[in-house]
């Protein structure tokens, strides 16, 4: 196993991490990424295998858990109730309760609303150059998840700020200021939801928060802290990644001249290729739960490993000419939504939003063009744009 040095905040890496992935993958499944101090899986086979290997998981082994710093207590309290950070049996219970509320029927019923929302947002586009990231790609997912949960749409700007401040904790560019902002956001977000959940207990509606309150699995329900953590996870995960997927997709379609495939019988293929080619999330980590040798490396209990979703999606062992965007490519399983027990519960909603928002955008704005070269934000392990300046043409 080679030792690799690549600062995840380096400008050239931020703009194009795929060159690093390509070089690392050529040397085998697993390499030691010195900047993260852990082995990293670069191939599709290794990433998929580790996502599904129950000898690895998201929770730190209990005997190795350390109390976090006091200034991060509000953020850590939310994390402690998160489905994303849980392992069985807690994960099994939480996920079952969430899936009882987050049904395919509930998601599918949003389609007409999403279509109307897309048209409404496009109606407000200015005539001159504007930032599509702010005007469309951010608004579609955040307003949709507000409607699904039953949170007032007027809260969308607050939810966006809280969400950005909280998920910034996962970024390589994290600072003490990042941590203080995340703690403040966690407190404000939790306080808002606690009051809102109390309202819904007394005044049930046809929304996801009401269904989460009512959801029951073998006599167990979500307690208030779990409800708050679950709602925050669904709000944050329900739009952060989709914002990036949508804006990265628009960028790719415009740069490769592939817009026409949205209106052919290859819409599903185009959406999957967007998710494969330039995914919104590039890395997840796992802890080893036992001593195990994999890919020539000896893992000890508590060791971490990085699973590089973005690298796995460009593996030539799975996709021919993987660095080429091919919107008619035959669909094969990519790793953009993770895998195994932690496969993203919101994947059907993200796909639905992409299948609706992209064709409507280019149907209404057939001459849409880039006004400036898009730049990616320094937010690894997320991979999304700082802005997407366009004009309607």
User: CATH number for the domain including 353?
Assistant: 1.10.630.10
Residue 269 and residue 70: Cα distance in Å, rounded?
A: 47
Query: Residue 218: what pLDDT?
Result: 67
Length of the chain: 393
Residue 74 and residue 72: Cα distance in Å, rounded?
A: 6
Query: Residue 53: what pLDDT?
Result: 97
Task: With a cut of 70, list the residues of the chain below it in pLDDT.
Answer: 217-218
Q: Nearest CA to 280 among 316, 325, 235, 313?
A: 313
Query: Residue 169: what pLDDT?
Result: 93
In the three-class reduction of DSSP (H, G, I as helix; E, B as strand; rest coil), residue 376 is classed as strand
Summarize pLDDT for 26-62 with one digit per residue, the tens: 999 999 999 999 999 999 999 999 999 999 999 999 9
Both tokens of 66, joined, read 């350390």
Residues 6+ apart with CB under 8 A from 317: 43, 44, 45
Query: Residue 104: what pLDDT?
Result: 85
3-state secondary structure 278-312: CCCECEEEEEECCCEEECCEEECCCCEEEEEHHHH
* Strands of 389-391's sheet in order across: 130-131, 389-391, 369-370
Counting the structural domains of the chain, the total is 1
3-state secondary structure 202-235: HCCCCCHHHHHHHCCECCECCCHHHHHHHHHHHH
Residues 6+ apart with CB under 8 A from 102: 208, 234, 345, 346
Q: Which long-range contacts (CB under 8 A, 24 or more apart) does 4-12 make?
A: 4/31, 4/32, 4/33, 4/34, 4/40, 5/34, 5/35, 6/33, 6/35, 7/35, 8/35, 8/36, 8/172, 8/380, 8/381, 9/172, 9/173, 9/378, 9/380, 11/378
Query: Residue 219: what pLDDT?
Result: 76
């Amino acid at each position: 196993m080679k030792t690799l040095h690549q600062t995840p905040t380096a400008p050239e890496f931020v703009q194009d991490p795929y060159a690093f992935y390509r070089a690392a993958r050529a040397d085998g499944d697993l390499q030691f990424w010195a900047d993260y101090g852990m082995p990293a899986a670069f191939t599709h086979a290794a990433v998929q295998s580790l996502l599904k290997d129950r000898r690895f998981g998201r929770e730190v082994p209990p005997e190795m858990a350390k109390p976090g710093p006091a200034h991060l207590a509000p953020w850590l309290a939310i994390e402690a109730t998160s489905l994303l950070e849980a392992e069985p049996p807690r994960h099994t219970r939480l996920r079952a309760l969430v899936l009882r509320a987050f049904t395919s029927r509930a998601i599918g019923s949003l389609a007409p609303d999403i279509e109307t929302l897309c048209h409404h947002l496009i109606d407000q586009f200015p005539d001159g150059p504007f930032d599509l990231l702010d005007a469309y790609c951010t608004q579609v997912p955040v307003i949709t998840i507000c409607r699904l949960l039953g949170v007032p749409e007027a809260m969308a700007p607050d939810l966006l700020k809280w969400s950005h401040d909280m998920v910034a904790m996962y970024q390589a560019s994290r600072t003490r200021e990042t941590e203080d902002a995340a703690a403040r956001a966690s407190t404000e977000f939790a306080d808002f939801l606690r009051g809102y959940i109390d309202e819904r207990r007394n005044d049930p509606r046809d929304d996801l928060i009401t269904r989460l309150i009512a959801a029951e699995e073998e006599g167990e329900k979500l307690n208030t802290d779990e409800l708050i953590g679950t709602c925050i996870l669904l709000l944050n995960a329900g739009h952060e990644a989709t914002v990036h997927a949508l804006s990265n997709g628009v960028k790719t379609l415009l740069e490769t001249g592939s817009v026409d495939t949205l209106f052919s019988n290859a819409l599903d293929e185009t959406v999957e290729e967007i998710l494969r080619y330039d995914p919104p999330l590039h890395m997840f980590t796992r802890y080893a739960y036992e001593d195990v040798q994999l890919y020539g490396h000896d893992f000890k209990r508590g060791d971490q490993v990085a699973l590089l979703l973005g690298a796995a999606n460009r593996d030539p062992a799975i996709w021919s000419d993987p660095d080429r965007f091919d919107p008619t490519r035959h669909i094969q399983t990519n790793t953009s939504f993770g895998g195994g027990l932690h496969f993203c519960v919101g994947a059907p909603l993200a796909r639905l939003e992409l299948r609706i928002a992209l064709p409507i955008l280019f149907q209404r704005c057939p001459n849409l063009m880039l006004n400036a070269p898009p730049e990616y934000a320094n937010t690894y392990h997320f991979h999304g744009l700082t802005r997407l300046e366009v004009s309607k043409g």
